[in-house]
Amino acid sequence: MVDSVVVVGGGTAGWMTATYLNAAFGDRVTVTVVESKNVPALGVGEATFSTIRHFFNYLGLNEQEWMLECHATYKLAVRFEDWNKPGDTFYHPFERNRVVDGFPLTDWWVQKKPTERFDKDSFLIASMCDAQSSPRYLDNSLFDGTFERGEEHRTTLTEQNTQFPYAYHFDAALLAKFLTRYGVERGVQHVLDDVVDVVLDDQGVIDHVRTREHGDVHGDFFVDCTGFRSLLVHQTLKEPFISFQDHLPNDSAVALRVPVDMAERGIRPATTATAKDAGWIWTIPLFERLGTGYVYASEYATPEEAERTLREFLGPVADNATANHIRMRIGRSERAWVKNCVAIGLSNGFVEPLESTGIFIIQNGIEQLVKNFPVGREETDVHLRDTYNRHAAHVMDGLREFMVLHWYASGRADNRYWKDTKTRALPDGLAERLEQWKVKLPDQDSIYPHYHGFESYSYRAIILGMGGLPVQPLPVLGKLDSTAADREFQLVADQAAALVEKLPSQYEYFAHLHGLP
């Protein structure tokens, strides 16, 4: 039987895993987190995507309560700046496409082009982001009540049938603290100590971990949440790592936490990704500060150059902020789950921060672990493990493909970094799909065929926004009556204008929640 789980690592992955297992199994499974006092958690990872609400919902957490404590804000989209050409902007929103006469509105947009902005013509959220609107009114009702359906159930990622319109930005350190308290109050054991050895039995299965000051910690099952170190799965169990570096060259980042006056600046409900000479800069607005950083490829910029670029971008507000330089390991474990240990979080793999997929990968790993929870008998567990590993690999490989699309489809080719993004090797299958998409924008049948968190509308948004792939109107649309499509574009414009007029700004909403005048 598997009655006890030891989670090694207390970053976002460690505490999300521990609290979720506790919420799933209660006192039927003992969960222990062993967390180093000396090795800090990464401390970045502050933007999410909209499926994260299933995690908080599963834990039964009240949104307003945890958001207040974690200085969180809403995120409705990713705003891309300068990816096509300097000064160009578009949003990738959490909003599925409307469908007119069987065709997504973005397909109609290529045919009709009511304005130059596919995002504003096709989605409500693009206008809401420009206006810095909150998705909730001051009485806390959501801007479209139909999205509230299904909230009463503890749903998971693969079961969700609506595209919820927002995700969150939050302070990662405050969230880890919040989840620690939540977990410990509900019975999660917490050992604050370094793991100095991982001890295997004679079958090569993990028997226990040895700590510096608290002796041996035994468990039936182990979760490796030790970040890029991957102490259990890579260092101890020697699972091979498959690098994605040939396809995704960004391997470094420099991050800053910048205090700003949000009352003056306002809070745009979007993560901004600004293209730069050797990568891109993220801007994440929290309630009292910006989380920001430059993700870059070390082949094209040194850490000093990257930090200088970031500071120039931010201006004097960042003068007193200390830079955190990070080396990223891009790729995935061949198998995430090996013997009696699964790697969740950066220990398993990472594609790169664009589109904020790190926490999604964690959430997916945890949900799949619960669905395939082992029984402790190898003849059964081998199948659960295989199912898990297949799913985990598909998620990572699908994300890799979606990320590569961003660079390949970008209109920029103005220096060596951006030129190289057009000639770098493509993951298997993508070249063929790209040819199809030039003729017919992606649909659910023509994108990466396994679950990886993104739907076809996201692919369409990226291709239209990035501007570098030649896209032509779908031939059949020229033969169809477009009256309904024209009406729908007008409806989007009218609804967006009405919403922007009625909704409070995101700053007003959070000032109200924080009890500020």
And the tokens for 315? 């201006």
Q: Which of 485-509 are b and which e, b meaning 16 or more Cβ less than 10 Å from the residue's Cβ?
A: beebbeebbeebeebbeebbbbbbb
Among 9, 104, 183, 467, binds ligand FAD (CB under 6 A): 9
- CA–chain centroid gap for 284, Å, is 13
Nearer to ligand FAD, 46 or 508 (CB): 46
Our finding on whether 6 is near ligand FAD (CB under 6 A) is no
| Gap between the terminal Cα atoms of the chain | 56
**Considering the complex, what minimum distance in angstroms separates the CB of residue 37 from ligand FAD?**
8
Per DSSP, which regions of 147-194 are E strands?
167-169, 189-192
Q: Is 210 in the site for ligand FAD (CB under 6 A)?
A: no
Question: For residue 278, how many C-alpha atoms fall within 13 Å in the half-sphere facing its CB?
Answer: 23
Q: Per CB under 6 A, does 231 bind ligand FAD?
A: yes
Segment interacting with ligand FAD (CB under 6 A) among 57-65, 225-233, 441-449, 475-483: 225-233
Q: What is the distance, to the nearest Å, from the Cα of residue 256 to the centroid of all Cα atoms in its chain?
A: 19
Of residues 17 and 122, the one with the C-beta less far from ligand FAD:
17
- Please identify, among the stretches 177-185, 297-305, 355-363, 448-456, the one whose residues bind ligand FAD according to the rule CB under 6 A: 355-363
Give the number of other Cβ atoms within 10 Å of residue 216's Cβ. Answer: 11
Q: How far apart are CA 71 and CA 168, in angstroms?
A: 10
Among the residue ranges 2-10, 146-154, 262-270, 369-377, the one whose residues contact ligand FAD (CB under 6 A): 2-10
226 forms part of the interface with ligand FAD (CB under 6 A): yes
The Cα–Cα gap between 212 and 198 comes to: 12
d(CA 483, CA 260): 47
Site for ligand FAD in 48-67 (CB under 6 A): 48
Task: Report the Cα 302 to chain-centroid distance in Å.
Answer: 26
| 358 lines the binding site for ligand FAD (CB under 6 A) | yes
Kindly tell me which of 16 and 499 has the beta carbon lying closer to ligand FAD.
16
Q: Is 403 in the site for ligand FAD (CB under 6 A)?
A: no
- Where do we find the tokens 């477009």? 482
Looking at the Cβ atoms of 172 and 463, the one nearer to ligand FAD is 172
Which residues in the 17-46 window bind ligand FAD by CB under 6 A?
34-36, 39, 41-42, 44-46
Nearer to ligand FAD, 39 or 493 (CB): 39
- Which residues have a catalytic role annotated? 75
For ligand FAD, which residue of 18, 253, 278, 281 counts as binding (CB under 6 A)? Answer: 253
CB 228 within 8 A of CB 328: yes
Sole binder of ligand FAD in the list 14, 365, 427, 453 (CB under 6 A): 14
Check binding of 11 to ligand FAD (CB under 6 A): yes
Q: State yes or no: residue 274 binds ligand FAD (CB under 6 A).
A: no
Choices 102-110, 226-234, 385-393, 404-412; region in contact with ligand FAD by CB under 6 A? 226-234
For residues 263 and 261, give the distance between their C-alpha atoms in angstroms, rounded to a whole number: 6
Q: Which stretch binds ligand FAD (CB under 6 A): 8-16, 71-79, 147-155, 391-399?
A: 8-16
**Tokens (6 digits) for 439:** 């003729």
Buried/exposed 341-367: b ≥16 CB within 10 Å, e otherwise: bbbbbbbbbbbbbbbbbbbbbbbbbbb
Q: What one-letter code names the amino acid at 326?
A: I
Rule CB under 6 A: say whether 427 interacts with ligand FAD.
no
Q: Which of residues 170-189 bind ligand FAD (CB under 6 A)?
A: 172
C-alpha 386: how far from its chain's center? Answer: 25
Q: Which one among 13, 275, 404, 492 touches ligand FAD, defined by CB under 6 A? A: 13
User: Is residue 453 a contact point for ligand FAD (CB under 6 A)?
Assistant: no
- Other beta carbons within 10 angstroms of residue 477's beta carbon come to 17
For residue 405, give the 3-state DSSP assignment. helix
Kindly tell me which of 225 and 496 has the beta carbon lying closer to ligand FAD. 225
User: Residue 245 carries which DSSP code?
Assistant: T
Write the Ramachandran bin of 376: left for phi over 0, alpha for psi from -120 to 50, otherwise beta: left
368 binds ligand FAD (CB under 6 A): no
Q: Does 285 bind ligand FAD (CB under 6 A)?
A: no
Site residues for ligand FAD, 299-338, by CB under 6 A, read 326, 328
H-assigned helices in 350-429? 358-371, 378-409, 416-420
Residues forming contacts to ligand FAD in the complex (CB under 6 A) are 8-14, 34-36, 39, 41-42, 44-48, 172, 194-195, 225-227, 229, 231, 253, 255, 293, 295, 326, 328, 345-347, 353, 356, 358-359, 362
